[in-house]
Structure formats: C-alpha cells, structure tokens
Amino acid sequence: MNKENIKKGVLVLVSLGIIFFVITSGGSGTVAGTSTVLDGKQEATIKVRGGYTPNEITLKAGIPTRLNFETKNTYDCSLQLYIPKLDYSNTLPSTGNTFISIEPQTVGSEITGSCGMNMYGFKLKFI
C-alpha cells in the first residue's frame, strides 16, 4: 500500500467520524426528552449535574405538569435553579428530588430555566 492510498483512507475515516458526530449529537448539543402521562397529568424528570439533562423537553399542552429535578452528588451551579416564567428561584439539595408543579399551558408556550449563573439552561415546549 502506498502513501497516497493511506492518506485517502485516513481522510475517509476522519470524514466519516465527523459525519457520525454531527448526526449523533444533533449538531447543536441539545438533548431532547419527553414526559410520561398518567391519569391526565404528565411528569418529566430532569437530571441535574453539570447542567440539565435533558435540556429540551416536549410536553403536552392543556394538562397539569410536574417536573422532577433529580440530583445525585451535585455540587455545581446547576443546583441554583431559576425559572423566570414561574417566578421560581431555589437552591436544590445536592442529592434528592425536587418537584415543581406547572399549571396547564397553551399550545406553543415555552418555559425556560437556568442555573443561577446562567451557564446551563433548559427549555420546556408545549405542543
């Protein structure tokens, strides 16, 4: 095998790696999530540690929502939770579950939240 073929092979592998990364990461770094609906209510869990995962959740409009912020050995700024539309600001426990109830929202509504330093954020979309 000559050097030219090796260069072409490496170029193909690098290109495929980049394509795979873009496809699997969604290209934007967004981790999407959904909710569970039971008895006319929905619940979504957001893991809190070095940010919020998932950081974008699609929810059903018109039904009550309960968010479960789950922490486990979390000691970063994501513990300071701020949700402006809900007038919510609180420090979460380093380990545990914190539940926040949200009244039914209209189709197209969005609620955003962030850490106290505005470094990490999340978005709730109601459809």
**pLDDT value, residue 32:** 77
pLDDT for residue 7? 67
Whether residue 99 sits in one domain with residue 37 = yes
Per-residue confidence band for 114, with pLDDT thresholds at 50, 70 and 90? very high
- Nearest alpha-carbon partner for 110 in 47, 40, 46, 61: 61
Both 7 and 56 in one domain: the answer is no
Render pLDDT for 17-72 as a digit per residue (tens, 0 to 9).
Answer: 444 443 333 334 677 777 788 888 999 999 999 999 999 999 999 999 999 999 99
Are residues 71 and 9 located together in one domain of the fold? Answer: no
Residue 63 is predicted with a pLDDT of 97
| CB 112 within 8 Å of CB 123 | yes
Same domain (yes/no): 3, 54: no
What local confidence, expressed as pLDDT, does residue 68 receive?
Answer: 97
For 79, half-sphere exposure in the C-beta direction (CA atoms, 13 angstrom radius) is: 13
Evaluate whether 52 touches 118 at the Cβ level (below 8 Å).
Answer: no
Give the pLDDT of residue 13. Answer: 54
One domain, residues 4 and 43: no
Question: Which positions ≥6 away from 26 have C-beta within 8 Å?
Answer: 32
Whether the Cβ atoms of residue 57 and residue 46 lie closer than 8 Å to each other? yes
Shared domain for 14 and 42, answered yes or no, is no
Same-domain check for residues 3 and 48? no
Query: Residue 113 sits in which domain range?
Result: 32-126
Q: HEC states along 89-126?
A: EEECCCCEEEEEEECCCCCCCEEEEEECCCCCEEEEEE
pLDDT at 12: 53
Q: What is the pTM of this model?
A: 0.73
CATH number of the domain residue 87 falls in = 2.60.40.420
- Number of domains into which the chain is organized: 2
Q: Are residues 104 and 54 in the same domain?
A: yes
117 and 105 belong to one structural domain:
yes
Mean pLDDT computed over 5-19: 56
Ordered DSSP codes for 3-63 = HHHHHHHHHHHHHHHHHHHHHHHTTT---EEE-EEETTEEEEEEEESSSEESSEEEE-TTS
pLDDT tens for residues 64-95? 999 999 999 999 999 999 999 999 999 999 99
